[in-house]
Chains A and B, each alone.
Chain A
Protein backbone atom coordinates (compact mmCIF):
# COMPACT_ATOMS: atom_id res chain seq x y z
CA UNK A 1 0.00 0.00 0.00
CA UNK A 2 1.20 3.45 -0.93
CA UNK A 3 1.96 6.09 1.66
CA UNK A 4 -1.00 7.99 3.02
CA UNK A 5 -1.30 11.72 3.57
CA UNK A 6 -3.98 14.15 4.65
CA UNK A 7 -5.67 16.26 1.98
CA UNK A 8 -6.94 18.88 4.40
CA UNK A 9 -3.50 19.19 5.97
CA UNK A 10 -2.02 19.66 2.49
CA UNK A 11 -4.70 22.26 1.74
CA UNK A 12 -4.09 24.24 4.92
CA UNK A 13 -0.33 24.32 4.38
CA UNK A 14 -0.58 25.20 0.71
CA UNK A 15 -3.10 27.96 1.39
CA UNK A 16 -0.72 29.47 3.95
CA UNK A 17 2.18 29.16 1.53
CA UNK A 18 0.22 30.94 -1.19
CA UNK A 19 -1.07 33.58 1.23
CA UNK A 20 2.55 34.48 2.03
CA UNK A 21 3.03 35.39 -1.62
CA UNK A 22 -0.38 36.81 -2.51
CA UNK A 23 -1.70 39.56 -0.26
CA UNK A 24 -5.17 39.31 -1.75
CA UNK A 25 -5.85 35.84 -0.35
CA UNK A 26 -8.21 35.82 2.63
CA UNK A 27 -9.96 32.94 4.37
CA UNK A 28 -13.30 32.62 6.11
CA UNK A 29 -14.49 29.85 8.36
CA UNK A 30 -17.59 29.01 10.35
CA UNK A 31 -16.11 27.68 13.59
CA UNK A 32 -14.38 24.68 11.97
CA UNK A 33 -10.94 26.12 11.19
CA UNK A 34 -9.06 23.48 13.19
CA UNK A 35 -10.77 20.81 11.15
CA UNK A 36 -10.73 22.46 7.73
CA UNK A 37 -7.13 23.54 8.43
CA UNK A 38 -7.74 27.17 7.54
CA UNK A 39 -6.23 27.62 11.02
CA UNK A 40 -2.70 27.77 9.56
CA UNK A 41 -3.51 30.91 7.63
CA UNK A 42 -5.39 32.26 10.65
CA UNK A 43 -2.35 31.87 12.91
CA UNK A 44 0.06 33.68 10.63
CA UNK A 45 -2.29 36.25 9.13
CA UNK A 46 -5.00 36.92 11.73
CA UNK A 47 -6.11 40.09 9.92
CA UNK A 48 -6.75 38.13 6.74
CA UNK A 49 -8.74 35.40 8.43
CA UNK A 50 -12.40 35.98 9.24
CA UNK A 51 -14.01 33.73 11.80
CA UNK A 52 -17.66 34.29 10.91
CA UNK A 53 -19.20 32.17 13.62
CA UNK A 54 -21.66 29.41 12.89
CA UNK A 55 -23.41 31.34 10.13
CA UNK A 56 -22.58 29.85 6.74
CA UNK A 57 -25.03 31.92 4.72
CA UNK A 58 -23.57 35.18 5.97
CA UNK A 59 -20.05 33.80 5.49
CA UNK A 60 -20.65 33.04 1.82
CA UNK A 61 -22.20 36.43 1.05
CA UNK A 62 -19.39 38.17 2.96
CA UNK A 63 -16.96 36.29 0.73
CA UNK A 64 -18.85 37.69 -2.27
CA UNK A 65 -18.38 41.21 -0.88
CA UNK A 66 -14.67 40.60 -0.30
CA UNK A 67 -14.29 39.32 -3.87
CA UNK A 68 -16.08 42.43 -5.13
CA UNK A 69 -13.36 44.60 -3.60
CA UNK A 70 -10.55 42.52 -5.08
CA UNK A 71 -9.85 39.88 -2.45
CA UNK A 72 -9.53 36.16 -3.24
CA UNK A 73 -11.63 34.53 -0.53
CA UNK A 74 -11.33 30.87 0.43
CA UNK A 75 -14.55 29.86 2.21
CA UNK A 76 -14.22 26.89 4.52
CA UNK A 77 -16.67 24.50 6.11
CA UNK A 78 -17.66 20.86 5.98
CA UNK A 79 -18.85 19.92 2.49
CA UNK A 80 -22.36 19.27 3.73
CA UNK A 81 -22.60 22.82 5.11
CA UNK A 82 -20.46 24.57 2.48
CA UNK A 83 -22.52 23.30 -0.45
CA UNK A 84 -25.89 22.75 1.14
CA UNK A 85 -26.66 25.44 3.65
CA UNK A 86 -25.68 28.52 1.59
CA UNK A 87 -26.78 27.16 -1.80
CA UNK A 88 -28.79 30.27 -2.61
CA UNK A 89 -26.03 32.62 -1.48
CA UNK A 90 -23.56 30.77 -3.72
CA UNK A 91 -25.97 30.78 -6.66
CA UNK A 92 -27.13 34.37 -6.45
CA UNK A 93 -24.20 36.21 -4.96
CA UNK A 94 -21.18 34.32 -6.30
CA UNK A 95 -21.92 32.17 -9.34
CA UNK A 96 -24.31 34.56 -11.10
CA UNK A 97 -21.80 37.45 -11.09
CA UNK A 98 -18.99 34.90 -11.64
CA UNK A 99 -17.00 36.06 -8.62
CA UNK A 100 -13.55 34.80 -7.74
CA UNK A 101 -14.50 32.85 -4.60
CA UNK A 102 -13.12 29.42 -3.75
CA UNK A 103 -15.36 27.21 -1.65
CA UNK A 104 -13.71 24.38 0.28
CA UNK A 105 -16.04 21.50 1.21
CA UNK A 106 -14.09 19.66 3.87
CA UNK A 107 -14.88 16.25 5.41
CA UNK A 108 -16.66 15.31 2.19
CA UNK A 109 -18.51 12.13 1.29
CA UNK A 110 -18.80 9.65 4.16
CA UNK A 111 -15.41 10.64 5.57
CA UNK A 112 -16.87 12.17 8.73
CA UNK A 113 -17.95 8.61 9.52
CA UNK A 114 -18.73 9.02 13.20
CA UNK A 115 -20.94 12.07 12.98
CA UNK A 116 -23.59 10.44 10.83
CA UNK A 117 -25.84 11.52 7.99
CA UNK A 118 -26.13 15.17 9.07
CA UNK A 119 -22.39 15.65 8.55
CA UNK A 120 -21.87 13.49 5.46
CA UNK A 121 -22.06 15.09 2.03
CA UNK A 122 -23.13 12.68 -0.69
CA UNK A 123 -24.90 15.21 -2.90
CA UNK A 124 -22.58 18.25 -2.75
CA UNK A 125 -21.17 17.65 -6.23
CA UNK A 126 -24.66 17.33 -7.71
CA UNK A 127 -25.67 20.65 -6.15
CA UNK A 128 -22.55 22.52 -7.20
CA UNK A 129 -22.42 20.98 -10.68
CA UNK A 130 -25.87 22.28 -11.49
CA UNK A 131 -24.89 25.92 -10.92
CA UNK A 132 -23.75 27.80 -14.06
CA UNK A 133 -20.20 29.23 -13.92
CA UNK A 134 -19.20 26.82 -11.13
CA UNK A 135 -16.10 24.63 -11.43
CA UNK A 136 -16.12 21.45 -9.31
CA UNK A 137 -12.96 19.61 -8.29
CA UNK A 138 -12.34 16.54 -6.10
CA UNK A 139 -8.58 15.97 -5.62
CA UNK A 140 -7.36 12.41 -5.34
CA UNK A 141 -4.58 12.86 -2.80
CA UNK A 142 -2.52 15.35 -0.80
CA UNK A 143 -0.17 16.13 -3.68
CA UNK A 144 -2.99 16.80 -6.07
CA UNK A 145 -4.71 18.93 -3.43
CA UNK A 146 -1.71 21.25 -3.32
CA UNK A 147 -1.59 21.47 -7.08
CA UNK A 148 -5.33 22.12 -7.27
CA UNK A 149 -5.09 24.99 -4.79
CA UNK A 150 -2.28 26.54 -6.83
CA UNK A 151 -4.27 26.08 -10.04
CA UNK A 152 -7.51 27.59 -8.80
CA UNK A 153 -5.63 30.63 -7.58
CA UNK A 154 -4.65 31.45 -11.15
CA UNK A 155 -8.19 30.77 -12.38
CA UNK A 156 -10.69 33.67 -12.19
CA UNK A 157 -14.11 32.45 -11.10
CA UNK A 158 -15.95 30.38 -8.53
CA UNK A 159 -14.63 26.92 -7.69
CA UNK A 160 -15.96 24.25 -5.35
CA UNK A 161 -13.32 21.86 -4.01
CA UNK A 162 -14.27 18.83 -1.91
CA UNK A 163 -11.67 17.42 0.46
CA UNK A 164 -11.61 14.19 2.46
CA UNK A 165 -11.25 14.11 6.19
CA UNK A 166 -9.04 11.01 6.31
CA UNK A 167 -5.55 10.46 5.03
CA UNK A 168 -5.67 8.94 1.54
CA UNK A 169 -3.08 6.94 -0.43
CA UNK A 170 -0.61 9.15 -2.28
CA UNK A 171 -1.09 8.42 -5.96
CA UNK A 172 0.12 11.47 -7.86
CA UNK A 173 3.50 13.19 -7.96
CA UNK A 174 4.33 16.26 -5.98
CA UNK A 175 5.83 17.92 -9.05
CA UNK A 176 3.95 19.29 -12.01
CA UNK A 177 0.93 21.46 -12.53
CA UNK A 178 -2.74 20.68 -12.25
CA UNK A 179 -4.86 21.46 -15.29
CA UNK A 180 -8.50 22.15 -14.53
CA UNK A 181 -10.80 20.05 -16.71
CA UNK A 182 -8.42 17.22 -17.64
CA UNK A 183 -8.60 13.52 -16.83
CA UNK A 184 -5.46 11.56 -16.02
CA UNK A 185 -4.77 7.96 -17.03
CA UNK A 186 -3.14 6.11 -14.14
CA UNK A 187 -3.15 2.62 -15.62
CA UNK A 188 -3.59 1.30 -19.13
CA UNK A 189 -5.80 -1.59 -20.23
CA UNK A 190 -8.28 -2.37 -22.95
CA UNK A 191 -11.25 -4.30 -21.61
CA UNK A 192 -12.71 -1.93 -19.03
CA UNK A 193 -12.25 1.79 -18.35
CA UNK A 194 -12.81 2.88 -14.76
CA UNK A 195 -13.41 6.58 -14.14
CA UNK A 196 -13.00 7.49 -10.50
CA UNK A 197 -12.12 10.33 -8.17
CA UNK A 198 -11.25 10.88 -4.55
CA UNK A 199 -10.88 7.81 -2.39
CA UNK A 200 -12.35 5.60 -5.12
CA UNK A 201 -9.27 5.99 -7.33
CA UNK A 202 -7.10 3.85 -5.05
CA UNK A 203 -9.89 1.28 -4.93
CA UNK A 204 -10.14 1.32 -8.71
CA UNK A 205 -6.39 0.68 -8.98
CA UNK A 206 -6.70 -2.24 -6.55
CA UNK A 207 -9.69 -3.59 -8.48
CA UNK A 208 -7.65 -3.38 -11.70
CA UNK A 209 -4.97 -5.56 -10.08
CA UNK A 210 -7.54 -8.19 -9.13
CA UNK A 211 -9.14 -8.11 -12.55
CA UNK A 212 -5.72 -8.53 -14.18
CA UNK A 213 -5.37 -11.80 -12.31
CA UNK A 214 -8.55 -12.91 -14.06
CA UNK A 215 -7.16 -11.87 -17.44
CA UNK A 216 -9.20 -8.70 -17.67
CA UNK A 217 -7.16 -5.61 -18.46
CA UNK A 218 -8.40 -2.37 -17.01
CA UNK A 219 -7.48 1.25 -17.55
CA UNK A 220 -7.98 3.55 -14.58
CA UNK A 221 -8.67 7.24 -15.02
CA UNK A 222 -8.57 9.86 -12.32
CA UNK A 223 -11.26 12.49 -12.90
CA UNK A 224 -10.58 15.28 -10.39
CA UNK A 225 -12.53 17.90 -12.33
CA UNK A 226 -16.19 16.90 -12.45
CA UNK A 227 -17.08 20.22 -14.03
CA UNK A 228 -16.07 21.19 -16.64
CA UNK A 229 -15.75 17.51 -17.49
CA UNK A 230 -13.09 16.48 -19.98
CA UNK A 231 -15.78 14.94 -22.20
CA UNK A 232 -13.50 14.69 -25.19
CA UNK A 233 -10.90 12.84 -23.12
CA UNK A 234 -13.53 10.51 -21.69
CA UNK A 235 -14.85 9.58 -25.15
CA UNK A 236 -11.31 9.01 -26.41
CA UNK A 237 -10.38 6.76 -23.50
CA UNK A 238 -13.36 4.41 -23.92
CA UNK A 239 -13.01 4.05 -27.69
CA UNK A 240 -11.65 0.49 -27.63
CA UNK A 241 -13.13 -0.62 -24.32
CA UNK A 242 -15.93 -3.12 -23.82
CA UNK A 243 -17.31 -1.54 -20.69
CA UNK A 244 -17.12 1.53 -18.46
CA UNK A 245 -17.32 1.71 -14.66
CA UNK A 246 -17.60 4.93 -12.68
CA UNK A 247 -16.69 5.00 -8.99
CA UNK A 248 -17.41 7.88 -6.63
CA UNK A 249 -17.95 8.55 -2.94
CA UNK A 250 -21.13 10.44 -3.74
CA UNK A 251 -24.67 9.73 -4.81
CA UNK A 252 -24.91 8.07 -8.20
CA UNK A 253 -27.41 10.85 -8.95
CA UNK A 254 -25.77 14.01 -10.20
CA UNK A 255 -22.13 13.22 -9.56
CA UNK A 256 -19.25 11.72 -11.54
CA UNK A 257 -21.29 8.75 -12.76
CA UNK A 258 -24.01 11.02 -14.09
CA UNK A 259 -21.49 13.31 -15.77
CA UNK A 260 -19.65 10.42 -17.47
CA UNK A 261 -22.95 8.85 -18.56
CA UNK A 262 -23.98 12.06 -20.28
CA UNK A 263 -20.56 12.44 -21.90
CA UNK A 264 -20.92 8.92 -23.33
CA UNK A 265 -24.56 9.17 -24.37
CA UNK A 266 -23.65 8.74 -28.02
CA UNK A 267 -20.99 6.11 -27.39
CA UNK A 268 -22.30 2.52 -27.60
CA UNK A 269 -20.59 1.10 -24.53
CA UNK A 270 -22.24 -0.40 -21.42
CA UNK A 271 -21.71 1.53 -18.18
CA UNK A 272 -22.06 0.70 -14.47
CA UNK A 273 -22.02 3.24 -11.67
CA UNK A 274 -20.51 2.46 -8.28
CA UNK A 275 -21.54 5.06 -5.72
CA UNK A 276 -23.99 5.81 -2.95
CA UNK A 277 -27.32 4.54 -4.20
CA UNK A 278 -29.69 7.45 -3.49
CA UNK A 279 -29.48 7.27 0.28
CA UNK A 280 -28.16 9.22 3.25
CA UNK A 281 -25.14 8.13 5.26
CA UNK A 282 -25.09 7.07 8.93
CA UNK A 283 -22.71 6.81 11.87
CA UNK A 284 -20.10 4.11 11.92
CA UNK A 285 -17.16 3.12 14.10
CA UNK A 286 -14.83 3.20 11.11
CA UNK A 287 -14.61 4.83 7.68
CA UNK A 288 -13.83 1.52 5.96
CA UNK A 289 -16.83 -0.16 7.51
CA UNK A 290 -19.12 2.68 6.42
CA UNK A 291 -17.77 2.68 2.86
CA UNK A 292 -18.37 -1.08 2.71
CA UNK A 293 -21.92 -0.70 4.01
CA UNK A 294 -22.65 1.62 1.08
CA UNK A 295 -21.01 -0.60 -1.52
CA UNK A 296 -17.95 1.60 -2.00
CA UNK A 297 -15.41 -1.23 -2.16
CA UNK A 298 -12.78 -2.79 -4.38
CA UNK A 299 -15.07 -5.83 -4.66
CA UNK A 300 -17.98 -3.71 -5.90
CA UNK A 301 -15.78 -2.30 -8.68
CA UNK A 302 -14.54 -5.80 -9.58
CA UNK A 303 -18.11 -7.11 -9.66
CA UNK A 304 -19.37 -4.23 -11.80
CA UNK A 305 -16.49 -4.71 -14.23
CA UNK A 306 -17.01 -8.46 -14.55
CA UNK A 307 -20.75 -7.92 -15.00
CA UNK A 308 -20.14 -5.71 -18.01
CA UNK A 309 -18.12 -8.42 -19.74
CA UNK A 310 -20.46 -11.35 -19.07
Chain B
Protein backbone atom coordinates (compact mmCIF):
# COMPACT_ATOMS: atom_id res chain seq x y z
CA UNK B 1 0.00 0.00 0.00
CA UNK B 2 2.96 2.31 0.55
CA UNK B 3 3.57 4.85 -2.18
CA UNK B 4 7.11 6.18 -2.57
CA UNK B 5 6.64 8.28 -5.70
CA UNK B 6 5.88 11.97 -5.03
CA UNK B 7 3.71 12.36 -8.13
CA UNK B 8 1.64 9.34 -7.20
CA UNK B 9 1.21 10.65 -3.66
CA UNK B 10 0.04 13.97 -5.10
CA UNK B 11 -2.47 12.11 -7.28
CA UNK B 12 -3.62 10.23 -4.19
CA UNK B 13 -4.12 13.53 -2.39
CA UNK B 14 -6.36 14.64 -5.24
CA UNK B 15 -8.42 11.49 -4.85
CA UNK B 16 -8.66 12.19 -1.12
CA UNK B 17 -9.92 15.71 -1.82
CA UNK B 18 -12.54 14.38 -4.25
CA UNK B 19 -13.60 11.87 -1.58
CA UNK B 20 -13.98 14.75 0.89
CA UNK B 21 -16.33 16.43 -1.57
CA UNK B 22 -18.32 13.20 -1.91
CA UNK B 23 -18.77 13.18 1.88
CA UNK B 24 -19.89 16.81 1.91
CA UNK B 25 -22.28 16.26 -1.01
CA UNK B 26 -24.62 18.77 -2.60
CA UNK B 27 -26.91 20.97 -0.49
CA UNK B 28 -25.82 19.11 2.65
CA UNK B 29 -23.23 20.43 5.07
CA UNK B 30 -19.66 19.53 5.90
CA UNK B 31 -16.38 20.77 7.31
CA UNK B 32 -14.69 21.65 4.04
CA UNK B 33 -12.01 24.14 5.13
CA UNK B 34 -10.11 22.07 7.71
CA UNK B 35 -10.55 18.79 5.85
CA UNK B 36 -8.96 20.26 2.73
CA UNK B 37 -6.12 21.90 4.67
CA UNK B 38 -5.18 18.53 6.26
CA UNK B 39 -5.66 16.45 3.10
CA UNK B 40 -2.01 16.28 2.07
CA UNK B 41 -0.86 15.48 5.61
CA UNK B 42 -3.43 12.70 5.94
CA UNK B 43 -2.47 11.32 2.51
CA UNK B 44 1.19 11.13 3.45
CA UNK B 45 0.39 9.39 6.74
CA UNK B 46 -1.85 6.70 5.28
CA UNK B 47 -0.11 6.11 1.96
CA UNK B 48 3.54 6.84 2.70
CA UNK B 49 4.39 6.67 6.37
CA UNK B 50 2.14 4.57 8.57
CA UNK B 51 2.33 0.82 9.09
CA UNK B 52 -1.28 -0.21 8.82
CA UNK B 53 -3.53 -2.63 6.99
CA UNK B 54 -7.28 -2.63 6.44
CA UNK B 55 -7.07 -6.43 6.53
CA UNK B 56 -5.72 -6.25 10.10
CA UNK B 57 -7.20 -3.06 11.56
CA UNK B 58 -6.51 -4.15 15.15
CA UNK B 59 -2.94 -5.38 14.69
CA UNK B 60 -1.14 -4.50 17.94
CA UNK B 61 1.92 -3.13 16.14
CA UNK B 62 0.05 -0.84 13.73
CA UNK B 63 0.88 2.84 13.79
CA UNK B 64 -1.94 4.94 15.23
CA UNK B 65 -3.39 8.13 13.82
CA UNK B 66 -5.70 10.35 15.84
CA UNK B 67 -7.47 13.31 14.31
CA UNK B 68 -7.71 15.55 17.34
CA UNK B 69 -9.40 18.25 15.24
CA UNK B 70 -12.19 15.75 14.77
CA UNK B 71 -14.39 17.98 12.62
CA UNK B 72 -11.89 17.45 9.79
CA UNK B 73 -12.55 13.71 9.90
CA UNK B 74 -13.82 13.86 6.32
CA UNK B 75 -10.17 13.80 5.26
CA UNK B 76 -9.68 10.63 7.32
CA UNK B 77 -12.85 8.98 5.96
CA UNK B 78 -11.56 9.85 2.49
CA UNK B 79 -8.23 8.14 3.20
CA UNK B 80 -9.76 5.12 4.94
CA UNK B 81 -12.15 4.56 2.02
CA UNK B 82 -9.27 4.97 -0.42
CA UNK B 83 -7.20 2.45 1.58
CA UNK B 84 -10.05 -0.05 1.63
CA UNK B 85 -11.27 0.09 5.25
CA UNK B 86 -14.83 0.45 3.94
CA UNK B 87 -16.43 0.91 0.51
CA UNK B 88 -16.25 4.37 -1.05
CA UNK B 89 -20.03 4.24 -1.46
CA UNK B 90 -20.24 4.84 2.31
CA UNK B 91 -18.87 8.37 1.82
CA UNK B 92 -22.19 9.59 0.42
CA UNK B 93 -23.86 8.37 3.65
CA UNK B 94 -21.67 10.59 5.87
CA UNK B 95 -23.68 12.13 8.71
CA UNK B 96 -26.90 10.33 7.81
CA UNK B 97 -28.88 8.45 10.47
CA UNK B 98 -27.30 5.09 11.21
CA UNK B 99 -24.25 5.68 9.02
CA UNK B 100 -20.87 4.28 10.08
CA UNK B 101 -19.50 7.73 9.19
CA UNK B 102 -20.56 10.07 11.97
CA UNK B 103 -20.05 13.82 12.06
CA UNK B 104 -17.00 13.35 14.26
CA UNK B 105 -14.64 10.36 14.66
CA UNK B 106 -16.09 7.36 16.48
CA UNK B 107 -14.32 4.12 17.16
CA UNK B 108 -17.08 2.01 15.62
CA UNK B 109 -15.89 3.16 12.19
CA UNK B 110 -13.29 0.79 10.73
CA UNK B 111 -9.87 2.44 11.00
CA UNK B 112 -10.85 5.11 13.53
CA UNK B 113 -8.73 4.77 16.66
CA UNK B 114 -10.41 7.09 19.17
CA UNK B 115 -13.42 9.31 19.72
CA UNK B 116 -12.45 12.92 19.22
CA UNK B 117 -14.11 16.13 18.25
CA UNK B 118 -14.47 17.81 21.59
CA UNK B 119 -11.30 19.76 20.88
CA UNK B 120 -8.12 19.51 22.89
CA UNK B 121 -8.29 15.82 23.83
CA UNK B 122 -6.63 13.92 20.99
CA UNK B 123 -3.03 14.62 21.96
CA UNK B 124 -3.66 13.24 25.46
CA UNK B 125 -5.29 10.11 24.03
CA UNK B 126 -2.29 9.68 21.72
CA UNK B 127 -0.02 10.17 24.71
CA UNK B 128 -1.78 7.31 26.50
CA UNK B 129 -1.29 5.09 23.45
CA UNK B 130 2.38 6.08 23.31
CA UNK B 131 2.86 5.30 27.01
CA UNK B 132 1.21 1.91 26.47
CA UNK B 133 3.48 1.27 23.50
CA UNK B 134 6.59 1.95 25.60
CA UNK B 135 5.28 -0.21 28.42
CA UNK B 136 4.70 -3.14 26.07
CA UNK B 137 7.96 -2.44 24.20
CA UNK B 138 6.15 -2.13 20.90
CA UNK B 139 7.58 -0.06 18.10
CA UNK B 140 4.48 1.65 16.80
CA UNK B 141 4.32 5.42 16.31
CA UNK B 142 1.37 7.58 17.31
CA UNK B 143 0.50 10.51 15.05
CA UNK B 144 -1.90 13.23 16.16
CA UNK B 145 -3.11 16.02 13.89
CA UNK B 146 -4.05 19.14 15.84
CA UNK B 147 -5.78 22.24 14.60
CA UNK B 148 -4.06 25.55 15.26
CA UNK B 149 -7.27 27.01 16.72
CA UNK B 150 -7.48 23.92 18.93
CA UNK B 151 -4.19 24.90 20.55
CA UNK B 152 -6.17 27.38 22.66
CA UNK B 153 -7.45 24.40 24.67
CA UNK B 154 -5.49 24.20 27.93
CA UNK B 155 -5.46 20.41 27.89
CA UNK B 156 -3.18 20.49 24.84
CA UNK B 157 -0.48 22.09 26.95
CA UNK B 158 -1.06 19.64 29.80
CA UNK B 159 -0.33 16.91 27.27
CA UNK B 160 2.66 18.78 25.82
CA UNK B 161 4.18 18.97 29.33
CA UNK B 162 3.46 15.33 30.11
CA UNK B 163 4.77 14.00 26.79
CA UNK B 164 8.10 15.70 27.49
CA UNK B 165 8.18 14.35 31.07
CA UNK B 166 7.74 10.81 29.75
CA UNK B 167 10.18 11.39 26.86
CA UNK B 168 7.74 9.97 24.35
CA UNK B 169 9.68 9.83 21.11
CA UNK B 170 6.96 7.55 19.73
CA UNK B 171 4.51 10.46 19.74
CA UNK B 172 4.34 12.90 16.82
CA UNK B 173 2.05 15.90 16.75
CA UNK B 174 1.28 17.63 13.47
CA UNK B 175 -0.29 21.07 13.61
CA UNK B 176 -2.53 21.93 10.67
CA UNK B 177 -1.55 25.58 10.82
CA UNK B 178 -4.06 27.23 8.50
CA UNK B 179 -4.30 30.41 10.59
CA UNK B 180 -8.09 30.44 10.54
CA UNK B 181 -10.63 29.14 13.01
CA UNK B 182 -14.40 28.85 12.59
CA UNK B 183 -15.14 32.46 13.45
CA UNK B 184 -12.17 34.15 11.75
CA UNK B 185 -8.42 34.62 12.12
CA UNK B 186 -6.41 32.70 14.69
CA UNK B 187 -6.04 34.66 17.92
CA UNK B 188 -2.96 36.80 18.32
CA UNK B 189 -1.86 34.97 21.49
CA UNK B 190 -1.44 31.76 19.54
CA UNK B 191 0.38 33.38 16.64
CA UNK B 192 2.65 35.56 18.80
CA UNK B 193 6.26 34.46 18.58
CA UNK B 194 5.35 31.52 16.33
CA UNK B 195 4.09 28.09 17.28
CA UNK B 196 7.56 26.64 16.91
CA UNK B 197 8.96 28.58 19.85
CA UNK B 198 6.08 27.53 22.08
CA UNK B 199 6.73 23.83 21.51
CA UNK B 200 10.50 24.34 21.72
CA UNK B 201 10.07 25.97 25.12
CA UNK B 202 8.24 22.84 26.29
CA UNK B 203 11.17 20.67 25.21
CA UNK B 204 9.73 19.22 22.01
CA UNK B 205 11.66 18.61 18.81
CA UNK B 206 10.08 20.97 16.31
CA UNK B 207 10.01 21.25 12.52
CA UNK B 208 8.19 23.67 10.28
CA UNK B 209 7.12 22.78 6.75
CA UNK B 210 4.79 23.66 3.90
CA UNK B 211 1.86 21.36 4.65
CA UNK B 212 0.93 21.13 0.97
CA UNK B 213 4.37 20.22 -0.33
CA UNK B 214 4.44 16.42 -0.43
CA UNK B 215 8.21 16.25 -0.55
CA UNK B 216 8.50 18.39 2.59
CA UNK B 217 5.76 16.41 4.35
CA UNK B 218 7.31 13.00 3.80
CA UNK B 219 10.78 14.39 4.56
CA UNK B 220 9.54 15.70 7.91
CA UNK B 221 7.71 12.45 8.73
CA UNK B 222 10.92 10.51 8.08
CA UNK B 223 13.01 12.88 10.17
CA UNK B 224 10.77 12.96 13.24
CA UNK B 225 10.88 9.16 13.24
CA UNK B 226 14.59 9.42 14.03
CA UNK B 227 14.21 11.78 16.99
CA UNK B 228 15.12 10.06 20.25
CA UNK B 229 14.16 10.96 23.79
CA UNK B 230 11.65 13.71 23.06
CA UNK B 231 8.28 14.00 21.38
CA UNK B 232 8.24 15.82 18.06
CA UNK B 233 5.92 18.28 16.42
CA UNK B 234 5.62 19.24 12.78
CA UNK B 235 4.16 22.69 12.26
CA UNK B 236 2.57 22.36 8.85
CA UNK B 237 1.74 25.69 7.25
CA UNK B 238 -1.45 25.11 5.34
CA UNK B 239 -4.25 26.92 3.56
CA UNK B 240 -7.77 26.45 4.83
CA UNK B 241 -9.92 25.05 2.00
CA UNK B 242 -6.80 24.17 -0.03
CA UNK B 243 -7.65 23.01 -3.54
CA UNK B 244 -11.12 24.56 -3.73
CA UNK B 245 -10.20 28.00 -5.00
CA UNK B 246 -13.34 29.88 -3.95
CA UNK B 247 -12.99 28.48 -0.42
CA UNK B 248 -9.25 28.99 0.10
CA UNK B 249 -8.30 31.12 3.10
CA UNK B 250 -11.92 31.87 3.94
CA UNK B 251 -13.19 31.13 7.44
CA UNK B 252 -16.78 31.08 6.18
CA UNK B 253 -16.03 27.80 4.39
CA UNK B 254 -15.20 26.10 7.70
CA UNK B 255 -18.49 24.17 7.75
CA UNK B 256 -20.46 24.78 4.62
CA UNK B 257 -23.16 23.64 2.25
CA UNK B 258 -22.24 23.44 -1.45
CA UNK B 259 -24.80 23.92 -4.22
CA UNK B 260 -24.57 21.96 -7.47
CA UNK B 261 -22.53 24.64 -9.20
CA UNK B 262 -20.07 25.05 -6.31
CA UNK B 263 -19.72 21.28 -6.05
CA UNK B 264 -18.82 20.97 -9.74
CA UNK B 265 -16.49 23.97 -9.52
CA UNK B 266 -14.75 22.43 -6.50
CA UNK B 267 -14.24 19.15 -8.35
CA UNK B 268 -12.80 20.93 -11.33
CA UNK B 269 -10.49 23.04 -9.13
CA UNK B 270 -9.13 19.91 -7.49
CA UNK B 271 -8.62 18.17 -10.83
CA UNK B 272 -6.54 21.15 -11.96
CA UNK B 273 -4.36 21.26 -8.84
Q: Give the complex CA separation of A91 and B117 in angstroms.
A: 12
Judge whether B124 and A92 touch: CB under 8 Å: no
Q: Which residue of B106, B107, B116, B124 contacts A62 across the interface (Cβ within 8 Å)?
A: B124
Do B162 and A55 have beta carbons less than 8 Å apart?
Answer: yes
Within 8 A of A (CB), among B135-178: 135-136, 154-155, 158-159, 161-162, 165-166
Q: Are A61 and B128 in contact (CB under 8 A)?
A: yes
Given A55-B162, A61-B155, A68-B129 contact (CB < 8 Å)? yes
B81 in the interface (beta carbon within 8 A): no
Question: How many residues does chain B have at the interface if contact means C-beta atoms less than 8 Å apart?
Answer: 31
- State whether B129 touches A65 (Cβ < 8 A): yes
Q: Say yes or no for A63: interface residue by CB 8 A criterion.
A: yes
A26 with B135: CB separation less than 8 A: yes
Residue pair B162, A58 in contact (C-beta under 8 Å): yes
Tell me whether B121 is interfacial, beta carbon within 8 Å: yes
Closest to A60 in B: B124
B128 and A65 form a contact (CB under 8 A): yes
- Please count how many residues in chain A sit with their CB below 8 Å of the partner chain's CB atoms: 29
Could you tell me if A65 and B158 are in contact, using CB atoms closer than 8 angstroms? no
Q: Which residues of A contact B154 (CB under 8 A)?
A: 57
Please determine whether B125 and A61 come into contact, CB atoms closer than 8 angstroms.
Answer: yes
- Say yes or no for A97: interface residue by CB 8 A criterion: yes
Residues on A with beta carbons closer than 8 Å to the beta carbon of B106: 96-97
Check A55/B126 contact, CB under 8 A, given A65-B114, A68-B114. no
Bound Cα distance from A61 to B120, whole angstroms: 10
The minimal Cβ–Cβ distance linking B153 to chain A, given in whole angstroms, is 9
Contact of A47 among B117, B133, B135, B159 (CB under 8 A): B135
A26 to B134, CA, bound (A): 13
Shortest A129–chain B CB gap in Å is 20
Q: Give min CB distance, A117 to chain B, whole Å.
A: 23
Verify B113–A52 contact, CB threshold 8 A.
Answer: no
- Output the nearest chain A residue to B128 by Cβ-Cβ distance: A65
A93 touches B132 (CB 8 A): no
User: Among A52, A65, A92, A97, which residue has the most Cβ atoms of chain B within 10 A?
Assistant: A65
Distance A91 CA – B106 CA, assembled complex (angstroms):
13
Judge if A89 is at the interface, Cβ distance under 8 Å.
Answer: yes
A64-B128, A68-B113, A93-B125 known; A58-B155 Cβ under 8 A: yes
| CB pair A57 B114 closer than 8 Å | no
* Beyond A57-B155, A65-B131, A66-B128, 11 extra complex contacts between A and B, CB < 8 Å: A52-B162, A55-B155, A57-B124, A61-B128, A68-B107, A70-B136, A73-B128, A92-B118, A93-B115, A93-B116, A96-B106
Q: Which residues of A contact B (CB under 8 A)?
A: 26, 47-48, 50, 52-53, 55, 57-58, 60-71, 73, 88-89, 91-93, 96-97
4 tightest A-B contacts by CB?
A: A65-B128, A61-B124, A69-B132, A58-B158
